[in-house]
Amino acid sequence: MRASLLLPLTLLCTAHAVWAQTTPNPILFVTQVPVPVDFATIGSTFANHLASPASVYRGGDLWIRYGDGSLRNLTAEAGLGMTGFQGANAIAVRDPAVHWNGSKAVFAMVVGSPPQQFVVQSYRWQLYEITGFGQGQTVSITLVPNQPSQYNNVMPAYLSDGTLVFASDRPRNGAAHLYPQHDEYESTATVTGLWRLNPANGELKLLDHSPSGDFDPMVDSFGRLLFTRWDHLQRDQQADQAGNPFGNFDWLSEAANAPLAAGITEEFPEPRVAPPGSPVNGLRFNNFFPWQLAQDGTQAELLNHLGRHELHEYFDRSFATDPNLTEFISAVSGRTNPNSIENLFQMAEDPTQPGRYVGIDAPEFATHASGQLVRLVAGPAVNPDDVLIEYLTPRSTFGTTPAPDHSGHYRNPIVLANGSIVVAHTSEQNELANLGTATAPIPNYRFRLKLMTAGSGGFQTAGASLTSGISKNVNWWNPDQMVSYSGELWELSPVEVRAQAAPSPVLTAPLASPEQQAFANAAVAESTFRQFLRAQNLGLIVVRNNTFRDDADKQQPYNLRVPGGVQSIGAGGTIYDIAHFQLVQGDQVRGIGGTSNPNPGRRVVPRFLHEAAALSHNLPNAAGPEGSSPIFADGSTAIFVPTQRALSWQTTAPNGTPVVRERFWLTLQPGEIRTCDGCHGINRNGQAGQPASTATPQALTALLQHWSELKGGLMFADGLE
């Protein structure tokens, strides 16, 4: 829609026309009326997609700052938004991203606020494109067509072909009764993952299903789709509480008419708190990690196959009774990276050095996802063992304890074409607080766009501001009381406006030679097999040798043996037999709020593989636990899995007791064949000093032969049946 459908705006906010600092190119950014609450609000680390006036105050705009320092309020020029009372035509904006041609951009905007007291209405973030923001041009803002109009769509970016990727809270399968999806932590509404949209024809595809949320997607110069994911694969902490105060319960399936389950069931992973005398330690897992995808949604993994061993300072071992297993302590681990981080938010690539990224390590609460500015080099060719975290600001800037070297909190970093770093910065060292009242808020955090400059101790610090400050007077119904704000607005989400060549997209990887050999051994054409997978909405997971584990991982069992088959022994002591590969799928079946009047939507919990299309084609495994496939004598596994749904797994002993548990959710796409050399995969060397497996997996050959027999014993020519 054209902005002219909304009421014209008289611009009453103030900003100097020109500011002293020059930049090589214009910078798009947004202003935001400061919000003094950091839970499920616009600046929060999670649940920041909500569009209610309580979650995101109205009154911000989309701005451009030209290289000479001059400013334009683009949404105001287009007739969008209002000053003073924020009513039906009020707006808030977020997340601008520039197209490869540099002449248009996409951003998210919510329109409307309660027009009068006690009115409660629903609002949604939607995606808009803007053109005509060059100097002397006329601004035009249009609604992106064919997007999910009933859901919140945020954090857009352009893929290499000009289609859009964004985060949305649309249900994974579009089922309205599953809305909203609740996260794995506080059962707070979350985005369901990353989605790709072709606005021209409405083609919509779920690229990654995340039970707790994906954030800030961007395409790097290598064509990889990078983003931050909230990894929180642990048992439901609300259901764990005595007396079930949150009214958690289970449905028997995801169906709208599913009956209630007899009780709460959760068997994966291990409990958060270990029962007395248990040989297994409790697992608490709560991190925001950098992830990568091919642009078609395949090949999901942590950036460069990084993990906790390369990034974190400490975590516990899984088995408490095995002296071979140790707590991970970075200082004595022998890893290359000297600097630990807890999380990594808001990644951006350095255009002067492809593969070098800046980002923010921030605590989960109390800072509006602002914290320490860090940098790492992680191009596709960099082994995760060699990735170094560089502290650009002191470690104290991660937290909220004042210190002599604490220079405030940083967020939304970008690197300009000349190598300069721009951040949104507040000088506040403490936690977020409201220095005013509920009806006249005065947040202590004041985010302003600034250029980084040299500081003390070899660190960088926030230097000159890019504007002289942008102020506004606004008021709105909350909806019971009138709330007023007068003063400077936050300046957030800068992005440089420059034309650049679109990188060639990373797409589905070709099969490696060991798997190609398995297809040849089974006399099955890969193209025909993938066609079957796509038709059935299935993928395939292949592990070459489940006894192989990376040499850094001494927190889960690594002396592993297949009874009657291979073994990988890294030390004397306990040897664990593994016989089954058990898959779990993320089912949205956990209800909240009690069975008599449950809250809308559901939470994802792990359930052992049960989708019929996968089970009916997998190898028989009568001796194994539910949802499992056999581990062959060579250590290999091959298993059909559902797609566009979060998955995880574990290897088990012959009696079904879990041995090695996956710690992350992973999504496959229809037709994808995902291969791993081991579990956990090897960066350079395994626990026994061995390199990654290159053996042809016996399990894959057997599964392909089994599949061919199920299809009637026909031999498949390439592309024919």
Q: What is the pLDDT of residue 20?
A: 67
Q: What is the C-alpha separation between 412 and 420, in angstroms, rounded?
A: 14
- Residues 491 and 519 grouped into a single domain: no
Query: Is the model more confident about 580 or about 680?
Result: 580
**Rg of the Cα atoms in the chain:** 26
- Residues 468 and 518 grouped into a single domain: no
Q: What is the pLDDT of residue 14?
A: 44
Domain contains 715:
no
Tokens 């649940």 locate to 47
Q: What is the C-alpha separation between 338 and 316, in angstroms, rounded?
A: 19
Q: What is the C-alpha separation between 701 and 496, in angstroms, rounded?
A: 50
Cα 255 → chain centroid: 26
Tokens 């600097």 locate to 339
Domain contains 491:
yes
- Residues 24 and 53 grouped into a single domain: yes
pLDDT for 473-530, tens place per residue?
999 999 999 999 999 999 999 999 999 999 999 888 899 999 999 999 999 999 999 9
**Domain enclosing residue 630, as ranges:** 513-710
Compute the mean pLDDT over every residue in the chain, rounded to the nearest whole number.
Answer: 94
Which two three-digit tokens encode residue 118? 């006690």
Q: What is the pLDDT of residue 719?
A: 42
Q: For residue 550, which amino acid is it?
A: D
Q: What is the C-alpha separation between 266 and 325, in angstroms, rounded?
A: 25
Determine the average pLDDT of the residues in 465-474.
97
- Confirm if 179 and 169 have CB atoms less than 8 A apart: yes
- Confirm if 13 and 73 have CB atoms less than 8 A apart: yes
Q: Is the pLDDT of residue 18 over 50?
A: no
Strand, helix or coil at 696? coil
- Residues 588 and 484 grouped into a single domain: no
Sheet with strand 71-73: strands edge to edge: 71-73, 62-65, 27-32, 490-496
Backbone angles phi, psi at 43, to 5 degrees: -100, 5
Which two three-digit tokens encode residue 657? 């007791």
Instruction: Please report which helix (H) or strand (E) contains residue 193, including its range.
Output: strand 193-198
- Residues 578 and 440 grouped into a single domain: no
Sheet with strand 164-168: strands edge to edge: 153-158, 164-168, 193-198, 203-209
Q: What is the number of other CB atoms lying within 10 angstroms of the CB of residue 33?
A: 23
pLDDT for 38-86, tens place per residue?
999 999 999 999 999 999 999 999 999 999 999 999 999 999 999 999 9
Q: What is the C-alpha separation between 719 and 616, in angstroms, rounded?
A: 23
Instruction: Say whether the peptide bond before residue 479 is cis (omega within 30 degrees of 0).
Output: yes
Backbone angles phi, psi at 615, to 5 degrees: -60, -40
Q: How many domains does the chain have?
A: 2
- Residues 490 and 519 grouped into a single domain: no
Q: Which of 465, 496, 527 is at the close of a domain?
A: 496
Domain contains 251:
no
Which two three-digit tokens encode residue 133? 């923001």
Q: For residue 246, which amino acid is it?
A: F
Domain contains 165:
yes
Q: Which of 471, 496, 521 is at the close of a domain?
A: 496
> Burial letters for 360-379: b for 16+ Cβ neighbours within 10 Å, e otherwise?
bbbbbebbbbbbbbbbbbbb
Domain contains 127:
yes
Q: What is the pLDDT of residue 714?
A: 45
pLDDT for 280-313, tens place per residue?
999 999 999 999 999 999 999 999 999 999 999 9
- Residues 407 and 462 grouped into a single domain: yes
Domain contains 26:
yes
Cα 497 → chain centroid: 25
Contacts of 5 (CB under 8 A, 6+ apart): none
Angle, CA of 516, 302 and 420, to the nearest 5°: 125
Tokens 């048992």 locate to 235
Tokens 């990727």 locate to 165
Q: What is the C-alpha separation between 93 and 620, in angstroms, rounded?
A: 53
pTM tops 0.85: yes
* Beta strand residue intervals within 609-717, DSSP E: 628-630, 637-642, 647-652, 658-661, 673-676
- Confirm if 371 and 363 have CB atoms less than 8 A apart: yes
- Confirm if 292 and 301 have CB atoms less than 8 A apart: yes
- Residues 338 and 424 grouped into a single domain: yes
- Residues 297 and 432 grouped into a single domain: yes
Q: What is the pLDDT of residue 681?
A: 85
Query: What's the residue count for the chain?
Result: 721
Q: Which of 441, 466, 496 is at the close of a domain?
A: 496
Domain with 385 in it: what CATH number? Answer: 2.120.10.30
Instruction: Please report which helix (H) or strand (E) contains residue 129, including its range.
Output: strand 126-131
Domain contains 488:
yes
- Residues 646 and 593 grouped into a single domain: yes
Domain contains 720:
no
Strand, helix or coil at 714? coil
Surface-to-core class of residue 140, CB atoms within 10 Å of its CB (0-12 exposed, 13-18 middle, 19+ buried): middle
Q: What is the pLDDT of residue 19?
A: 54
Contacts of 412 (CB under 8 A, 6+ apart): 346, 360, 423, 424, 492, 493, 494
Q: Are strands 356-361 and 345-349 parallel, antiparallel or unpaired?
A: antiparallel
Q: Where are the alpha helices (DSSP H) in 80-151?
A: none
DSSP 8-state code for residue 369: T
- Residues 58 and 26 grouped into a single domain: yes
DSSP 8-state code for residue 512: P
Ranges 274-278, 357-361, 410-414, 473-477: which has the least confidence = 274-278
- Residues 300 and 409 grouped into a single domain: yes
pLDDT for 86-108, tens place per residue?
999 999 999 999 999 999 999 99
Q: What is the pLDDT of residue 711?
A: 87
Q: What is the C-alpha separation between 400 and 125, in angstroms, rounded?
A: 31
Q: What is the pLDDT of residue 17?
A: 39
